[in-house]
Amino acid sequence: MALYTRKGDKGDTGAFGCKQRFSKNSALTEALGSLDEINSLLGICKIKARDLRFMIYDLSLFEIIEQVQQNLFIIQANLAGLLAKASAKAGADKKITQEKIIDMEKIIDNIEKELMPIKSFFLPGGMELSAYLDYARATIRQTERRVVALSDLSAEASAKAETQKIDDEIIAYLNRLSSLFYVLARFVNLKSKIKETPPTY
């Protein structure tokens, strides 16, 4: 089977398990593409974290990042499934639950106990992995904005009974995720004994 289908040659695309087509410039494809982008970037972060020995809340950094990657696929499946009116066959049978958000908050709280209080912004950098984690944080923020834009549209459509509303837990998870990667970037520099540098303005 060829990896290309030629179906998107005119600027539209489809969701897995659904016959409906969407413009590649739509809010849905922007959100899905942004989730794909951050997941690919997390692949780099995960590989660079593979040899780190310190544990965070009984998890290695590699394991934490891989858990996030799995959850991002759940979000992608939910967005595609809900807005394309697809069934659970599209992978939307799994959900981002409040428990997943609470688990992430526990990791953040555990790391914050070791970090100095925030008194200013910090220049991204230090250890290479820290820089990538900070890059991931900024990309997650971008992803969150695009999913929120999509959520606004889906809420309007839901009111008209045209589709279902995006779960609130998805928005909350992405919001918390940027906080996780902020503390992870700082934590990696701390463990590497690299001093944080504030901007001089």
155 versus 127: which is more confidently predicted? 127
pLDDT value, residue 120:
77
199 assigned to some structural domain? no
Q: Is the model's pLDDT at 161 over the cut of 60?
A: no
1 assigned to some structural domain? no
Distance CA(187)–CA(130), nearest Å, equals: 8
CATH number assigned to the domain comprising residue 183: 1.20.1200.10
Look up the domain containing 170 and give its range: 25-191
Which pTM does this prediction carry?
A: 0.84
143 assigned to some structural domain? yes
68 assigned to some structural domain? yes
List the structure tokens of 144. Answer: 């969150």
Domain total for the chain?
A: 1
